């Protein structure tokens, strides 16, 4: 028997990190949002991806929840590019490090935050189809229930049903390498660490570990995480414990009495990107929009940042604050970011190929990255701190993330990121108090008179001229920079936060 249709403003297919972050952003903006997730709970078999980069930690800090992750993760002030270490400790950010934290913990903590917000969950169900019209989307679930939404967001992974059903092309490159990853118990003590041979890279490590002085120190006992490069690419069957055992014997000469698998999966360097991130009232984010090799740990981070870019824009469209055309900026801004991630992951895969010519190239790249300028440039890129949205010519801050400055305000000392906790746009007046007037947008944009006497420094770029004012979007990116005048401010406010109140119908 068919269940009656339930209505929501936005339905999100997929409750992984991207879907959870998007739901949180929408809920903060007062949007009625629901997540459809096939798992009956947030539990995730195995640890999957691991690690949060500096910009993602900054985003979590912008929402006031970074400490929840920092209290459980392992800080490492060294990144890497295809195995070449990158010192990131001098990046101009409050978080100049990578945080070691497996995806199952990342999801659990994110879900805890989302659970504090008015978000509806449909667990143990999947989106099986949808039909969109001029006013919304009818979403069909696997249990026969139907949902009606103004917008549908596909955060349902690399095999996204939403992307396929929308007819959005997914061009790219087929895999050249394949690897097994498993969490298992072993009867014998394994040879922990990384191993390289003619097949590629392999590794065994305890699931539980610490990072001390930039070095991984594994627990003395407990389950192990195994990664094995496979001899052949293109397997279509699900991997088994026998595959793991055979792979261990091939590389280590023994399977160490492997048993009791918690999870076994396969990953490749398949590299694809959605041709469009939007089709009418259907949007894509995270792995549904882009897949690539895990080198550099950029996939989860890119997806979370997709969600934060999309969330406030979609909320403004749903609330009729902004026209639907604002959503075009989502593809325009995020598609190039992921395209570069695809390029850098392909480069990293190429650099770790196990032959002497590639080794010579890797050594050359390592020598190059030991110099400060290229090191800083790559560190900013790999940590997500150098993202630059093309918002036109102007001050170097324009289109880049706003630094988390320690401001002096009439309410006392405040960090910039603290002012972004509620995901509202922010105009920081750093000049004469009362020198900027945004009265027609006062219902949407928070105006703060403040001072900052320190240095303005951007990742990879270095020091920049101090502005007189900055307009900061809810995602933490700068939409307008003042030079002592209000030239261009009204246009920026209209573009990003809708027409002035007196001009609205």
Q: Which residue is it, tokens 């009791």?
A: 260
Tokens of 475: 């995602």
pLDDT at 47: 60
Report how far apart, in Å, the C-alpha atoms of 210 and of each of 175, 201, 214 are. 33, 22, 10
Report whether 276 contacts 330 (CB < 8 A): no
pLDDT profile of the chain (505 residues), mean per 10: 76 97 98 96 74 97 98 89 91 95 93 98 97 97 97 97 98 95 94 88 85 69 91 89 95 96 92 98 98 91 98 98 97 98 96 91 94 95 97 97 96 96 97 91 96 95 96 98 94 96 59
Distance from C-alpha of 22 to C-alpha of 109, rounded to nearest angstrom: 15
90 contact partners, CB below 8 Å, separation of at least 6: 96, 376
Distance from C-alpha of 32 to C-alpha of 11, rounded to nearest angstrom: 9
Report how far apart, in Å, the C-alpha atoms of 335 and of each of 199, 285, 341 are. 33, 10, 10
CA-based torsion, 371, 373, 379, 381: positive or negative: negative
pLDDT at 482: 96
pLDDT at 2: 46
3-state secondary structure of 275: coil
CA-based Rg of the chain, rounded to a whole angstrom? 24
DSSP state of 90: T
Question: CA dihedral in degrees (9, 14, 17, 21; nearest 10)?
Answer: 0
For residue 115, the tally of other CB atoms under 10 A from its CB is 12
pLDDT at 1: 37
Residue 43 class from Cβ within 10 Å (0-12 exposed, 13-18 middle, 19+ buried)? exposed
Question: CA dihedral in degrees (5, 42, 12, 156; nearest 10)?
Answer: -120
3-state secondary structure of 271: strand
pTM summary value:
0.94
Residue 348 class from Cβ within 10 Å (0-12 exposed, 13-18 middle, 19+ buried)? buried
pLDDT at 146: 97
pLDDT at 125: 96
């Amino acid at each position: 028997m068919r269940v009656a249709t339930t209505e929501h403003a936005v339905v999100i297919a997929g409750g992984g990190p991207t879907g959870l972050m998007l739901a949180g952003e929408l809920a903060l903006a007062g949007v009625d949002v629901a997540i459809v997730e096939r798992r009956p709970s947030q539990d995730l078999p195995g640890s999957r991806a691991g690690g949060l980069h500096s910009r993602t930690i900054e985003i979590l800090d912008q929402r006031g929840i970074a400490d929840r992750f920092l209290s459980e993760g392992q800080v490492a002030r060294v990144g890497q590019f295809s195995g070449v270490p990158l010192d990131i400790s001098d990046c101009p950010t409050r978080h100049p490090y990578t945080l070691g934290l497996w995806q199952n913990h990342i999801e659990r903590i994110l879900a805890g935050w989302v659970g504090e917000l008015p978000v509806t969950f449909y667990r143990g169900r999947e989106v099986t189809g949808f039909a969109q019209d001029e006013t919304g989307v009818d979403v069909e679930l696997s249990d026969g229930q139907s949902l009606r939404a103004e917008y549908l967001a596909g955060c349902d992974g690399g095999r996204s049903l939403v992307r396929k059903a929308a007819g959005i092309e997914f061009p790219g490159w087929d895999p050249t390498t394949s690897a097994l990853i498993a969490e298992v118990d072993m009867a014998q003590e394994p040879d922990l660490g990384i191993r390289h041979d003619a097949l590629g890279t392999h590794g065994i490590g305890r699931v539980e570990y610490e990072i001390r002085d930039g070095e991984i120190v594994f627990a003395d006992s407990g389950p192990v995480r195994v990664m094995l490069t496979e001899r052949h690419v293109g397997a279509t069957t699900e991997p088994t414990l026998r595959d793991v055992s055979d792979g261990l014997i091939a590389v280590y000469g023994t399977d160490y009495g492997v048993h009791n698998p918690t999870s076994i999966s396969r990953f490749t360097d398949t590299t694809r990107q959605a041709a469009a991130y939007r089709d009418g009232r259907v949007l894509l984010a995270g792995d549904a929009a882009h897949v690539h090799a895990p080198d550099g740990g950029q996939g989860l981070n890119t997806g979370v940042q997709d969600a934060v870019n999309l969330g406030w824009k979609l909320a403004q469209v749903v609330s009729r604050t902004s026209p639907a055309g604002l959503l075009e900026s989502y593809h325009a801004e995020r598609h190039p970011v992921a395209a570069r991630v695809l390029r850098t992951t392909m480069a990293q895969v190429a650099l770790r190929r196990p032959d002497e010519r590639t080794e010579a190239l890797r050594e050359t790249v390592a020598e190059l990255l030991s110099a400060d300028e290229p090191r800083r440039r790559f560190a900013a890129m790999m940590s997500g701190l150098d993202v630059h949205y093309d918002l036109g010519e102007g001050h170097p801050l324009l289109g880049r993330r706003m630094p988390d400055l320690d401001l002096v305000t009439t309410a006392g000392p405040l960090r910039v990121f603290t002012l972004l906790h509620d995901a509202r746009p922010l105009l920081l007046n750093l000049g004469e108090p009362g020198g900027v007037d945004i009265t027609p947008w006062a219902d949407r944009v928070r105006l703060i008179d403040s001072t900052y006497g320190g240095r303005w420094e951007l990742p990879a770029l270095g020091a920049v001229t101090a502005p007189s004012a900055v307009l900061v979007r809810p995602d933490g990116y700068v939409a307008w920079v003042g030079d002592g005048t209000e030239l261009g401010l009204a246009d920026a406010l209209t573009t990003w936060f809708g027409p002035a109140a007196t001009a609205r119908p």
